[in-house]
């Protein structure tokens, strides 16, 4: 056998659905809305926390390697995953179940890991793992789960102990695990004040290529948790208090020194870097300004985007532009609905449309480059009519700002309402009905032919069957308005229209076939297979044109070519 990938800890990111390459019994990407990131419907981006884990354990002389199985499968369609896993060698293998859409894929891949590497300890982590930690002990392929928004210390402990040969009675905070079949719960006591106290080294993250399509879009996460309590979010204050064993303090910041160290590692690339500053709404203005100044000083970044919860004071915006004159600054606002009553019920609604429009005008005047507006379907009191009014309002907004980069986007909160969020936990009080509660039913739902069976909720105002038609209509009309107002090209709109029409046709045909025969005819399966192959060649979903599938920071930089060749050949030969 060719060489091995050896480490003390190997972190694996699985595709959302395994094995997406062979599936012709459901439509991939029917719900995908990855506009915020350059990924396909299998969600091949791993948590940023993988990079923090690698740096933190590295500082303790523990060797961590990241193997992005999802992105490798996408890049090498004949890759034999089981064979690939046979080439891994580590006492601990970690998988993320951070986002619920990965519940099928990560559990399946863990099964393969356990099969080929029975001696390795298989540990999970992430937000969803934290919520379902106890239930996850029922899967034979999962040995342990480390709970929490920050798992650096406990994971370092686990790896150090496993390296010393410890195989049971682990002294690891936040971990629930199996010791000779018995479930041992070490509790959830590690809740550090400072988040992920380490700097990520971005310097080697982008492959050396002169291609302009290499999208050097990196992400900086200055904090986690939230001050707000949006009812649909498992990262909210309400959810953190119940899930993360914290009380008053529900936002955890990283130290400014670590952010500054991180910025110094930004690489110089052929295309100018863009930085997506996550969770900026939980930052104070002085910290935000310091951060911006440091990014500006780095001299390698062209644009920065921020999310803001409230309408940032114009005086602060002015300072932002002043401290970073060489940066294009974009702001993301998420009112969720044009209807302020609905907006308020979602946890937002801190401004009216009139206030927002005045603010946009002022922001443009002082040099903010653009504003992205995010609207969501699936909110309380929101009907299909209301959704379409949001789209019509967006058109008026683009008309009012004809030459400015004001970009509205609408998508559905599909297929899941987050486990652990307030509306999931108290559905009746908020007009919600929840259909899947445990992890296993979510896992099974994702591979059902009919899209409605994957949906884990509906509202008093919109039933399950209404979501997809409403979402497709809203996305299509919105995209056409964007073309009318020059936000996207005429060519793009043809692609968008064609793709949404095709998705409508496929999902409709599946529904009809399942209703009449309870199964899918071979001809329809062929059509679905062809669609799935096509959608995976796009690093975008229904709403966008083709983007490259390479040059992204989360793609695999670990597995050497010779191993890939061996595994590709072997699968092809088999």
Choose the one of another protein, ligand B12, ligand SF4, none that binds residue 34, judging by a C-beta under 5 to 8 angstroms depending on kind: ligand B12
What would the DSSP string read from start to end of 314-330?
HHHHHHHHHH-TTSEEE
SS3 89: strand
What does the per-residue mask of binding to ligand B12 show for 197-226, with x meaning CB under 6 A? Answer: ----------------------x-x--x-x
Crossing angle for the helix pair 464-484 and 384-400, nearest 10 degrees? 10
99 binds ligand B12 (CB under 6 A): yes
In whole angstroms, what is the distance from residue 97 CA to residue 495 CA? 33
Residue 498 CB, nearest distance to ligand SF4 (Å)? 32
**What is the rounded (10 degree) CA torsion for 553, 555, 559, 565?**
-140
Give the dihedral sign, CA 36/39/40/44: negative
Interface residue with ligand B12 among 57, 64, 146, 317 (CB under 6 A) is: 146
Q: How far is the CB of 93 from ligand B12 (least distance, A)?
A: 8
Q: d(Cα 111, Cα 107) in Å, to the nearest integer?
A: 6
The pair of three-digit structure tokens given for residue 234, joined into one six-digit string: 């498992």
Stretch that binds ligand SF4, among 50-58, 154-162, 228-236, 530-538 (CB under 6 A): 228-236
Choose from ligand B12, another protein, ligand SF4, none: what does 3 bind? Cβ within 5-8 Å by kind.
Answer: none
Q: Does 490 bind another protein (CB under 8 A)?
A: yes
Determine, following the binding rule CB under 6 A, whether residue 415 of this chain makes contact with ligand B12: no
From the CB of 12, what's the least distance to ligand B12, in Å?
8
Binder of residue 548, out of another protein, ligand SF4, ligand B12, none (CB less than 5 to 8 A by kind): another protein
How big, in percent rounded to 5, are the helix, strand and coil portions of the chain? 40, 15, 45
Phi, psi of 438 (to 5 degrees): -90, 170
Q: If you search the block for the tokens 């979903």, which residue do you land on?
A: 541
Strand pairing report for 64-68 and 88-89: unpaired
Comparison of 18 and 131: residue with beta carbon closer to ligand SF4: 131
Q: Which x/- pattern, by CB under 6 A, does the window 107-126 give for ligand B12?
A: ----------------xxxx
Contact assessment for residue 8 and residue 62, using Cβ atoms and an 8 Å cutoff: yes
- Sorted by sequence, the CB contacts under 8 Å of residue 529 that are 6+ apart come out as 23, 24
Pick the binder of ligand B12 from 38, 120, 279, 532 (CB under 6 A).
279
Q: Find how far residue 34's CA is from the centre of its chain.
A: 8
| The one among 7, 162, 199, 233 contacting ligand SF4 by CB under 6 A | 233
Print burial letters for 201-229: b (CB count within 10 Å at least 16), e (below 16).
bbeebbeeeeeeebbbbbbbbbbbbbebb
Strands 92-96 and 121-125 turn out to be parallel
Nearest distance, CB of residue 233 and ligand SF4, angstroms:
3
Among 59, 270, 365, 562, binds another protein (CB under 8 A): 270
Q: 1 has which bridge partners?
A: none
Alpha carbons 425 and 434: distance in angstroms, whole number:
9
Total residues contacting ligand SF4 (rule CB under 6 A)?
9
Contact of 123 with 162, CB cutoff 8 Å: no
> In this complex, which beta carbon is closest to ligand SF4, that of residue 91 or of residue 231?
231
Instruction: Work out how close the CB of 481 gets to ligand B12 at its nearest, in angstroms, rounded to a whole number.
Output: 22
- 367 phi/psi in degrees, rounded to 5: 110, 10
Distance CA 98, CA 419 (A): 12
Q: Cα 403 vs. chain centroid, distance in angstroms?
A: 31
Q: Looking at 149-157, 309-317, 510-518, 564-572, which segment touches ligand B12 (CB under 6 A)? A: 149-157
Q: Is 240 in the site for ligand SF4 (CB under 6 A)?
A: no
Please, what is the minimum distance in Å from the beta carbon of residue 75 to ligand B12? 15
Sites for another protein among residues 202-241 (CB under 8 A): 209-213, 215
Smallest gap from residue 239 Cβ to ligand SF4 (A): 8
Rounded to a whole number of angstroms, the minimum distance from the CB of residue 496 to ligand SF4 is 26
236 near ligand SF4, rule: CB under 6 A: yes
Q: Which of residues 515-574 bind another protein (CB under 8 A)?
A: 544-548, 550
Closer to ligand B12 by CB, 124 or 472: give it: 124
* CB closer to another protein out of 255 and 547: 547
What is the closest distance, in whole angstroms, from the C-beta atom of residue 541 to ligand B12 in the complex?
9
Choose the stretch contacting another protein; rule: CB under 8 A; options: 28-36, 94-102, 134-142, 485-493. Answer: 485-493
CA distance 284 to 280: 9
Token pair belonging to 172: 């690891």
Write down the least CB distance from residue 512 to ligand B12, Å.
Answer: 27
Does 429 engage in binding with another protein (CB under 8 A)? no
Residue 464, Cβ neighbours under 10 Å: how many? 20
Q: C-alpha dihedral over 564, 569, 570, 571, to 10 degrees? A: 90
What ranges in 324-426 are assigned the alpha helix state H?
Answer: 340-345, 353-365, 384-400, 422-425
Q: Supply the minimum distance, in Å, between the C-beta of residue 460 and ligand SF4.
A: 21
Q: How far is the CB of 409 from ligand SF4 (least distance, A)?
A: 15
Q: Of 206, 276, 309, 375, which lies in the binding site for ligand SF4, with binding defined by CB under 6 A?
A: 309
Start-end of H helices in 251-372 = 256-264, 285-298, 314-323, 340-345, 353-365
Residue 347's binding partner among ligand SF4, another protein, ligand B12, none (Cβ under 5 to 8 angstroms by kind) is ligand SF4
d(CA 443, CA 461): 26
Considering the rule CB under 8 A, would residue 491 count as an interface residue with another protein? yes
Is residue 77 within 8 A of residue 21, CB to CB? The reply is yes
Q: Does residue 235 bind ligand SF4 (CB under 6 A)?
A: yes
Binding mask of the shown chain, residues 326 to 355, with x at each position contacting ligand SF4 by CB under 6 A:
---------------------x--------
Report the nearest approach of ligand B12 to the CB of residue 559 (Å). 18
Which residues are at the interface with ligand SF4 (CB under 6 A)? 226, 228-230, 233, 235-236, 309, 347
Which residues are at the interface with another protein (CB under 8 A)? 209-213, 215, 270-271, 403, 489-492, 544-548, 550
């Amino acid at each position: 056998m060719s060489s091995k990938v050896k480490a003390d800890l190997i972190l694996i990111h699985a595709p959302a659905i395994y094995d997406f390459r062979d599936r012709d019994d459901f439509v991939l990407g029917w719900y995908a809305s990855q506009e915020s990131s350059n990924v396909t419907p299998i969600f091949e981006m791993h948590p940023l926390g993988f990079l923090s884990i690698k740096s933190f354990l590295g500082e303790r002389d523990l060797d961590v390697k990241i193997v992005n199985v999802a992105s490798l499968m996408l890049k090498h369609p004949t890759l034999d995953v089981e064979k690939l896993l046979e080439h891994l060698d580590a006492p601990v293998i970690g998988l993320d179940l951070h986002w619920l859409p990965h519940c099928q894929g990560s559990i399946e891949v863990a099964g393969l890991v356990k099969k080929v590497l029975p001696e390795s300890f298989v540990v999970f982590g992430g937000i969803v793992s934290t919520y379902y930690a106890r239930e996850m002990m029922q899967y034979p392929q999962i040995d342990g789960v480390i709970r929490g928004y920050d798992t650096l210390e406990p994971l370092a402990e686990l790896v150090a102990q496993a390296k010393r040969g410890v195989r049971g009675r682990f002294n690891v905070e936040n971990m629930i695990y199996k010791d000779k079949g018995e479930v041992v719960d070490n509790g959830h006591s590690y809740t550090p004040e400072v988040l992920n106290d380490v700097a990520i080294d971005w310097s080697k993250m982008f492959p050396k290529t002169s291609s302009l399509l290499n999208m050097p879009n990196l992400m900086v996460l200055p904090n986690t948790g939230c001050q707000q309590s949006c009812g649909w979010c498992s990262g909210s204050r309400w959810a953190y208090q119940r899930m993360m064993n914290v009380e008053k303090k529900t936002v955890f910041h990283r130290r400014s020194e670590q952010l500054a160290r991180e910025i110094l590692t930004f690489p110089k690339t052929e295309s100018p870097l863009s930085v997506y500053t996550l969770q900026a709404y939980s930052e104070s203005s002085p910290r935000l300004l310091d951060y911006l100044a440091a990014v500006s000083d780095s001299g390698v970044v062209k644009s920065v985007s921020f999310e803001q919860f409230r309408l940032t004071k114009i005086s602060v915006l002015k300072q932002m532009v002043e401290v970073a004159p060489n940066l294009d600054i974009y702001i993301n606002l998420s009112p969720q609905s044009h209807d302020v009553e609905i907006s308020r019920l979602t946890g937002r609604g801190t401004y009216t449309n009139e206030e927002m429009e005045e603010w946009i005008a002022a922001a443009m005047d002082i040099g903010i480059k653009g504003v992205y507006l995010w609207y969501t379907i699936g909110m309380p009191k929101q009907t299909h009519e209301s959704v379409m009014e949001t789209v019509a309002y967006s058109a008026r907004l683009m008309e009012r700002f004809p030459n400015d980069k004001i970009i509205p986007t609408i998508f559905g909160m599909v297929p899941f309402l987050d486990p652990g969020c307030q509306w999931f936990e108290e559905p009746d009080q908020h007009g919600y009905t929840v259909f899947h509660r445990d992890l296993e039913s979510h896992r099974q739902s994702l591979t059902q032919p009919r899209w409605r069976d994957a949906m884990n909720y509906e509202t008093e105002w919109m039933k399950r069957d209404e979501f997809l038609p409403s979402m497709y209509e809203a996305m299509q009309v919105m995209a056409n308005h964007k073309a009318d107002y020059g936000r996207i090209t005429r060519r793009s709109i043809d692609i968008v229209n064609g793709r949404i029409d095709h998705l409508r046709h496929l999902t409709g045909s599946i529904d009809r076939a399942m209703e009449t025969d309870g199964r899918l005819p071979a001809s329809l399966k062929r059509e679905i297979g062809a669609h799935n192959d096509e959608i995976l060649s796009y690093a975008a979903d229904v709403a966008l044109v083709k983007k490259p599938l390479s040059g992204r920071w989360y793609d695999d930089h670990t597995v050497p070519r010779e191993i890939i060749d061996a595994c590709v050949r072997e699968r092809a030969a088999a």
